[in-house]
A = this chain, B = another copy of it.
């Protein structure tokens, strides 16, 4: 505890995810004073066809 889930557009490298796990674990330790050993992080990759905003699917948007 705590359990952190990061939903992000696909394409991040394992090294980037590894880096974020380290930073997030440190962040939670600081803000919530919890044991770093009890911090869990999950990633959920979003595909461009599985994400929409402002009424339009991301893969169809000009600005990406």
Residues of A within 8 A of B (CB): 1-9, 12, 14, 16-28, 30-32, 34, 36-37, 39-46, 49-57, 59-60
Bound Cα distance from A32 to B12, whole angstroms: 7
In the complex, 11 of the A-B residue pairs with CB atoms within 8 angstroms, ordered by the A residue number, are A3-B7, A4-B7, A17-B31, A17-B49, A17-B57, A18-B56, A18-B57, A22-B56, A26-B27, A26-B55, A45-B50
Question: A55 contacts B17, CB within 8 Å?
Answer: no
Residue on B nearest A2 in the bound complex, by CB: B8
What chain B residues lie within 8 Å of A19 (beta carbons)? Answer: 30-31
Given contacts A1-B9, A21-B56, 8 further A-B contacts (CB under 8 A): A2-B7, A8-B34, A18-B57, A18-B60, A19-B30, A21-B52, A36-B54, A43-B50
